[in-house]
């Protein structure tokens, strides 16, 4: 996620903690279909021999855009395009695509919450009005939508309504299935904001349930995102090429972070994606690079990495 400007962080320090934790609710499940298969202990395929062997992700996005030009009423195609832009860090374009999906299928809560998240990440580190409206629309369609509920809490926290934000996140935590990928992150967000604002939440947290075990498997199950079948249907890629596209997206994110490393939240996206692809060594290396470039975010980075089971975290 985009790093909040220093002045904004000074005004709402607890809110930055909340936004960091939102990574678990983001559609950052690069290759989720592949990862779900791999969660059953299937051996991970060897990395590509070279970056040049990977397909051009931008070309694939262009292919999807061409298909949508021919069939502009394909709501799921627009969702796929929004996801693809999101994964490559093009959040404003992601929001545009998701908005088109909501226009074509306005009764889909996931489209609306995805739009809201893209708008947040395309902004300057707050929850803009159009994003807030998208989250509220999603909740009107599905009151249990976890992404929208989380960001509503973020919005409350940024407005100085810290107790209300904690109430919102507590309610979300109560409804969260044990072991869900965002469970530990929501719990940690509550703890950090409560500590910052001197709010006692120990008894309330203890009454919900102990934190579920964390690790790669817990971090993979149920993360929203396109399945292998959805990717194939949307882009008509040859068998096996979908995973190469995913790897290309992850490597593209890594390259962008090498050029602009002062983005701790984007590093966490990369680390999560590396773990989901079975690239634990690369995830560990990314963690060390992230800490070196963002020493002020060390504690948050390490905690999130531990949740994902990154070696050496």
Residue-wise pLDDT tens digits, 163-212: 999 999 999 999 888 767 677 778 888 988 898 899 999 999 999 865 44
Q: What are 206-214's contacts with CB under 8 Å, separation 24+?
A: 208/170, 208/173, 208/174, 209/178, 211/183, 211/184, 211/187, 212/178, 212/179, 212/180, 212/183, 212/184, 213/179, 214/184, 214/306, 214/307, 214/308, 214/309
Per-residue pLDDT reduced to its tens digit, 202-235: 999 999 865 444 433 333 333 333 444 444 444 4
* CATH code, domain carrying 114: 1.25.40.10
Q: Whole-model pTM?
A: 0.61
Q: Flag whether 62 is in a domain.
A: yes
Q: Which of 28-32, 62-66, 115-119, 155-159 shows the lowest mean pLDDT across its residues?
A: 28-32
Domain assignment present for residue 107? The answer is: yes
Q: Does residue 313 fall inside a structural domain?
A: no
Q: Indicate the number of domains in the chain.
A: 1
Q: Which two tokens stand for residue 310?
A: 């990154």
The answer to whether residue 221 sits within a structural domain is yes
93 domain residue, yes or no: yes
Closest C-alpha among 226, 168, 231 to residue 27: 226
Q: Bigger pLDDT: 146 or 58?
A: 146
| Residue 1 covered by a domain | no
Range of the domain at 284: 6-308
Q: Is residue 291 part of a domain?
A: yes
């Amino acid at each position: 996620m985009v790093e909040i400007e220093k002045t904004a962080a000074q005004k709402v320090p607890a809110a930055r903690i909340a936004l960091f934790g939102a990574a678990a609710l983001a559609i950052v499940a690069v290759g989720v279909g592949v990862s779900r298969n791999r969660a059953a202990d299937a051996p991970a395929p060897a990395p590509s021999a070279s970056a040049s062997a990977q397909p051009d992700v931008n070309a694939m996005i262009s292919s999807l855009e061409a298909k949508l030009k021919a069939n502009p009423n394909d709501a799921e195609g627009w969702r796929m395009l929004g996801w693809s832009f999101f994964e490559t860090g093009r959040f404003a374009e992601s929001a545009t695509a998701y908005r088109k999906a909501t226009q074509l299928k306005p009764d889909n809560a996931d489209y609306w919450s995805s739009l809201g998240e893209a708008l947040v990440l395309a902004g300057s580190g707050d929850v803009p009005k159009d994003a807030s409206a998208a989250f509220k629309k999603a909740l009107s369609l599905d009151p249990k939508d976890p992404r929208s509920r989380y960001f509503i809490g973020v919005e409350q926290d940024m407005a100085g309504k810290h107790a209300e934000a904690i109430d919102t996140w507590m309610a979300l935590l109560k409804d969260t299935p044990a072991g869900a990928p965002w469970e530990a992150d929501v719990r940690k967000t509550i703890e950090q904001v409560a500590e910052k604002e001197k709010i006692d939440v120990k008894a309330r947290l203890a009454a919900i349930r102990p934190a579920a075990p964390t690790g790669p498997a817990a971090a993979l199950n149920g993360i929203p995102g396109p399945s292998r079948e959805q990717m194939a249907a949307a882009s008509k890629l040859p068998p096996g090429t979908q995973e190469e596209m995913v790897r290309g997206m992850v490597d593209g994110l890594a390259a962008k972070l090498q050029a602009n490393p002062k983005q701790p939240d984007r590093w966490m996206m990369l680390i999560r994606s590396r773990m989901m692809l079975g690239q634990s060594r690369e995830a560990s290396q990314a963690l060390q690079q992230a800490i070196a470039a963002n020493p002020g975010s060390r504690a948050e980075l390490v905690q999130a990495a531990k949740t994902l089971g990154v070696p050496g975290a």
